[in-house]
Structure 1
Amino acid sequence: MTKDPYAALGLTKEASADDIKKAYRKIARTDHPDLNPDDPRAEARFKAAGQAYDLLKDPEQRRRFDAGEIDASGTEQAPRGYYRDTARGPENPYTQSRTSQGNPFQGGFDADDFFANFARGQGAGFSRGAPGDVPGQDVQYRLGVPFLDAALGTRTRITLPDGGTLEVKIPEGARDGQTLRLRGKGTPGHGAGQPGDAFITLDVIPNPDFERDGDDILVTLPITIDEAILGGKVPVRTVSGTVKVSVPAGASSGQVLRLKGRGVKGRNGKGDQRITLRIVSPSRIDNALKTFMEGWRAEHAYDPRTGKETK
């Protein structure tokens, strides 16, 4: 992606969080690969916008990028003296331990400190094993997940800082901000010490067609004038595929239909899909339609603001 995530969204650093969200959704609607199957440039813009949104929607990540602490891909930017400092400083922020207390030798080695810390370690639960048995540390990662993958569940891999990979199972119905725990996938222990765990925080990437509300899925369904007046079966996308929904005769814009069990998996089963209808007039009004509507208005004028006929 571009080195400037703001540029990928057509914004500047002064953009608000709402501006960032709106810009991403606009690009997702126009450049989504499903809408531009033969346009690699549109796909590239869509991917760049998704990566930029993934970075900037998190206030802390945005602050760190603006401060130059991480780059546009979220990778740590090594400050001057990095290798010297990390040799005696706390862990890398991407692999911070939940149990670590920092480096006991910060600022230089002291034999008395070494043996004091070793003794404290013995009293902190290491006495069950040999003196050199030390458990591994927990590590934390963030993972961007497409909306549909989170809704349906999937398996994916993340690349670790050391170049290795870790397979992650995304459960069906996963939520934005949800943290997964992979036991034994942290740093290895020393001696007979058990390895630490890996904690994966999920960042669900928005989808231009779907919105989530609890376990329900929200969509907007455009319908024609005749479908609104006469009713009929109309195709609508769900997270698990396209189905046909019955639009009742006399439907209005803003009316909400419900598909039971077409939402996402939650603690109490699957939610529903709620469909908001939106009547869309044809882009060109031909003479036949115009003549018909003029005749209808002359005989059946109706004011929807009062709910009464005007004749």
Structure 2
Amino acid sequence: MSEDPYDVLGVSKTATADEIKKAYRKIAKESHPDLHPGDAAAEARFKAAGAAHDLLKDPETRARYDRGEIDASGQERPQERTFYRDFAEQPDNPYRQGARYEGFGDEQDIFAEFLRRHAGREGASFRSHAYQARGADTHYALEVPFLDAANGGSMRITLPDGGALEVKIPRGVHEGQTLRLRGKGGPGHGGGAAGDAYVTLSIRPHPVFTREGDDIVTTLPITLYEAVLGAKVEAPTIAGPVKVTVPKGTSSGRTLRLKGRGIAAAGRPAGDQRIELRIVMPPKVDDDLARFMEDWGKRNGYNPRKEGMP
């Protein structure tokens, strides 16, 4: 399997953001592990599509990949002699207001001159001055299972050096949200503060639930006799199954609303869960059912298509 994210999603390098998102959703829906238990190939396609989408959905990250600055996993590619320029571009560089040296001369000589001037301003030799700089910020992409995004949870990111970064997932996070982990980026220099880690989230699709704002939407199949006679049936929610009442004489498409059973993100009221009922006929219509419906139809015929038709 190609590692190129464009090949993984089956799109061209000129694809729009919408085309990339649509390609990812198609693969995620077709290859979701919940729909293909035990299928290692489907799981690999699902994970590869998620990683490719994470890289390409952010315009800045996509541009860096296209320029060859990062690889398909989002890791920095080796760059030659970039330390001075990277340092000079930092917003907290105290020497940025002075003379700028990009674009001419040998950078090692320039950096030595930079240190010499600083030591002169301080009235001390370079040896007596402690150089400090804040650590670099790091950026990661993380795919979060739907229920963890809805209810909150904890996940780990494996770092290139073999370490791990613990990420607390607040309940109610949404697609594309970025979490800032203070002090979890690159180490500082000379006692300087560590950088921050930025984690951009993508939400793994769920085979049963979808999210609309803070509402959760699902479809619940019911039998013909449950629709006719009414019943209490079990329905899934993001917090676990609950009993709901199917009213007598229910039609397909009727929606039940469970107040407060949707997304309960901090700082705003909880959403609802909407359950759309769908009548499913028995796998076989036997003679008894057919005769009953024929007799019932003769006595109680009705035409639901008549109303509202020209």
- TM-score, structure 1 as length reference: 0.73
**Aligned counterpart, 1:127:** none
Q: Assess, with a 3 A threshold, how the Cα gap between structure 1 residues 292 and 245 changes in structure 2: closer, same or farther.
A: same
Q: Please state if 1:213 is matched with 2:198.
A: no
Deviation at residue 278 of structure 1 after TM alignment = 2.3
Q: Assess, with a 3 A threshold, how the Cα gap between structure 1 residues 274 and 40 changes in structure 2: closer, same or farther.
A: same
Partners of 2:136 and 2:187 within 8 A in 1: no
Partners of 2:135 and 2:189 within 8 A in 1: no
Q: Assess, with a 3 A threshold, how the Cα gap between structure 1 residues 102 and 163 changes in structure 2: closer, same or farther.
A: farther
Deviations for 1:136-194, whole angstroms, at most 9, x for unmatched residues?
23514233222211112222221334443221111122222322222222223333433
Q: Percent identity?
A: 53
Partners of 1:211 and 1:219 within 8 A in 2: yes
**Aligned counterpart, 1:90:** 86
Partners of 2:253 and 2:278 within 8 A in 1: yes
Match for residue 137 of structure 1 among 108, 132, 135 = 135
| In structure 2, distance between residues paired with 1:101 and 1:207 | 49
CA RMSD of aligned residues (A): 3.8
Q: Which entry has the higher C-alpha Rg, 1 or 2?
A: 2
**Aligned counterpart, 1:251:** 250
Gaps of 5+ in 1: 123-129
Partners of 1:156 and 1:168 within 8 A in 2: yes
**Aligned counterpart, 2:167:** 168
Partners of 2:17 and 2:57 within 8 A in 1: yes
Q: Please state if 1:289 is matched with 2:289.
A: yes
Partners of 2:136 and 2:188 within 8 A in 1: no
| In structure 2, distance between residues paired with 1:270 and 1:118 | 59
Deviation at residue 230 of structure 1 after TM alignment = 2.0
Partners of 2:235 and 2:241 within 8 A in 1: yes
- Tell me the matched-pair count: 291
| In structure 2, distance between residues paired with 1:101 and 1:281 | 74
- Structure 2 counterparts to residues 67-216 of structure 1, below 5 A: 70-76=70-76, 78=77, 82-90=78-86, 105-107=101-103, 108=107, 109-110=109-110, 113-114=114-115, 132=130, 134-144=132-142, 145-216=144-215
Partners of 2:181 and 2:197 within 8 A in 1: yes
Q: Assess, with a 3 A threshold, how the Cα gap between structure 1 residues 117 and 258 changes in structure 2: closer, same or farther.
A: farther
| In structure 2, distance between residues paired with 1:287 and 1:101 | 88
Q: Assess, with a 3 A threshold, how the Cα gap between structure 1 residues 305 and 231 changes in structure 2: closer, same or farther.
A: same
Q: Please state if 1:279 is matched with 2:279.
A: yes
| In structure 2, distance between residues paired with 1:117 and 1:302 | 92
Question: Per the alignment, in what secondary structure is the counterpart of residue 200 of structure 2?
Answer: strand
